[in-house]
Amino acid sequence: MKNVISCLALLFFAFGAAAQSGAAKTPAQDAVEKLAQLYGLNATQQADMLKIQERKLRNLAEIGPLKISDPQAYLRKVQAIQLGNNESFERIFNADQKKMLKQQQVALREKKAVVFKEMKTAGSAQQEIDKKMLELDLEAL
């Protein structure tokens, strides 16, 4: 009887360990995988990138309440997080990867300029324009 109970306990423990090893990936790990494919990151860069992505997600979670209470402060903080991320990326990237990052930054600025001009021409309110710029910034993060 003791052997049966011991075997059952061991079996449950083994299933629990197997379930944990097959757990879903975190959002930070998903982001690192996408960035690794995009930039061709090596293992060391991927480890550094995971730290950067975890910090980004933690920072976004911390400023979440500002989205409703103070939208302008939220916008500034998102932009600061984006700037910090780009600086961190540049620190770990090689020359070719930095070039790709710069191209993406230019493309984002151009896209924001086009959207801004279109919305301004359409007579959109500044709040709507700021909201759209924030959406574009969050997409780029």
> What are the tens digits of pLDDT across the range 27-47?
999 999 999 999 999 999 999
Task: Look at residue 18 in the predicted model and tell me its pLDDT.
Answer: 45
Q: Considering the domain boundaries, does residue 12 fall inside one?
A: no
What rounded mean pLDDT belongs to the chain?
84
Q: Considering the domain boundaries, does residue 66 fall inside one?
A: yes
Q: Considering the domain boundaries, does residue 46 fall inside one?
A: yes
Q: Considering the domain boundaries, does residue 86 fall inside one?
A: yes
Q: Which residues contact 68 (CB under 8 A, 6 or more apart)?
A: none
Task: Look at residue 14 in the predicted model and tell me its pLDDT.
Answer: 46
Three-class DSSP labels, 53-108: HHHHHHHHHHHCCHHHHCHHHHHHHHHHHHHHHHHHHHHHCCHHHHHHHHHHHHHH
Task: Look at residue 23 in the predicted model and tell me its pLDDT.
Answer: 62
CA pair distance 54, 60, nearest whole angstrom = 10
Q: Is the pLDDT of residue 10 over 50?
A: no
Give the tens place of pLDDT for each residue, 105-129.
999 999 999 999 999 999 989 889 8
Task: Note down the domain range covering 96.
Answer: 27-140
Total residues belonging to the chain: 141
Of 133, 122, 38, residue with least CA distance to 78: 133
Q: Which residues contact 49 (CB under 8 A, 6 or more apart)?
A: 32, 35, 36, 41, 89, 92
Whether the predicted model's global pTM rises above the 0.85 cut: no
Task: Look at residue 49 in the predicted model and tell me its pLDDT.
Answer: 94
Q: Considering the domain boundaries, does residue 48 fall inside one?
A: yes
Phi-psi region of 70 (alpha: psi -120 to 50; beta: other; left: phi over 0): beta
Q: Considering the domain boundaries, does residue 35 fall inside one?
A: yes
Q: Which amino acid is at 117?
A: K
Report DSSP state, residue 125.
Answer: -
Q: Considering the domain boundaries, does residue 21 fall inside one?
A: no
**Number of domains into which the chain is organized:** 1
How many other CB atoms are there within 10 angstroms of residue 126's CB atom?
A: 9
Q: Considering the domain boundaries, does residue 19 fall inside one?
A: no
Q: Which amino acid is at 113?
A: A
Q: Which residue has the higher pLDDT, 98 or 17?
A: 98
